[in-house]
Amino acid sequence: MDSVTFGRLQFGRQTVYFSHHWFITDTHGAFDAAPSAANSLNLIGSINGANFAGNYLNNTVRYETPIFRGFAAMASYSFDAEQPGAGRNHTWYLSPSYTNGPLSIGFYHMQRNSQGTLPLQTVGSLDQMADKFAISYTYNGLRLGAVVDRNRVDDRATGSRQDRTAFSVPLSYATGPHLFSLTYGQALPVHQNSGTLADTGARMLSVSYQYSLSKRTWLDVSAVELRNQRNGRYNFWLGGLNGSSPLPLQDAGARVRMFYAVSSTNSDGKDGYPNRLRPCSV
């Protein structure tokens, strides 16, 4: 169903939580090669490289409200791997937003229950709660944004809890067919139970230049660097959600750099994720 009056109702495999803030704050994150490489999900997606928040979730019912005086919302329920004897295995998600001229604000809340290794859709003992706030303001082609993200995972089998807070500050400037972007991100140290895991944070800086060949096709060159603290294990978000993983223990504290060029084509954009990416060279 898709109408101006009643909103939009969707069923099936849907994006949940991880990407929707791009259209509030981060053109750099949404439209360049970022889903393969250099957006803020390198830091704000995971807890020290593990337990990524959000995913493409199967068996999802999602409703998007119509826009009313700048206000809109998205809500979804995912059955995930729900099965007999594991009915607690599901995901709730809610994301209200507000847009008024150059100002955009979004809040995103997700609760996943009885998961296995996150972010896979398996039954296990992990409960995950994630919250994100995003805001941006645009003036004469200059867009300044901020994203604050908190990801918490509880293991009901062991009673253990991990959480971390991370943020990013995306800045972009568009003029004609040119887009210049810079994103700074930082993940604070991980809290475990009642203590803090020392030196488990990381910082990221990415810069990008895009040239628009058409309304939906870009050429992009980017550079990004991740600097882990001594026990930090953050890595680039290269393999997609299910392929993301922390750096090996022996590589904790590593400094990771990437330079790349790509041509990308976007044919959608409603939920913050390009339909097609066509890399030329990496």
What confidence tens digit (pLDDT) does each residue in 160-198 have? 999 999 999 999 899 999 989 889 999 999 999 989 999
Per-residue pLDDT, 148? 96
CATH number at residue 160: 2.40.160.10
Flag whether 4 is in a domain: no
Per-residue pLDDT, 120? 86
The H or E element containing residue 30 is helix 27-31
Flag whether 172 is in a domain: yes
Q: Are 152 and 162 in contact (CB under 8 A)?
A: yes
Per-residue pLDDT, 163? 97
Structure tokens at 164: 């971390």
Flag whether 263 is in a domain: yes
**Residue 140: phi, psi to the nearest 5?**
50, 45
**Strand 178-187 relative to strand 202-212, pairing:** antiparallel
Per-residue pLDDT, 265? 65
Flag whether 3 is in a domain: no
Q: Which residues does 201 contact at the CB level (< 8 Å), separation at least 6?
A: 186, 187, 188, 189, 190, 228, 229, 232
Flag whether 46 is in a domain: yes
Per-residue pLDDT, 147? 94
Taking the C-alpha atoms of residue 185 and residue 225, their distance in angstroms, rounded to an integer, is 10
**Which residue range is the domain that position 148 belongs to?**
12-281
Task: Output the pTM of the full model.
Answer: 0.85
- Number of folded domains that form the chain: 1
Low-confidence residues in the chain, pLDDT < 50? 1-3, 30-37, 267-270, 272-282
Taking the C-alpha atoms of residue 193 and residue 183, their distance in angstroms, rounded to an integer, is 31
Per-residue pLDDT, 254? 94
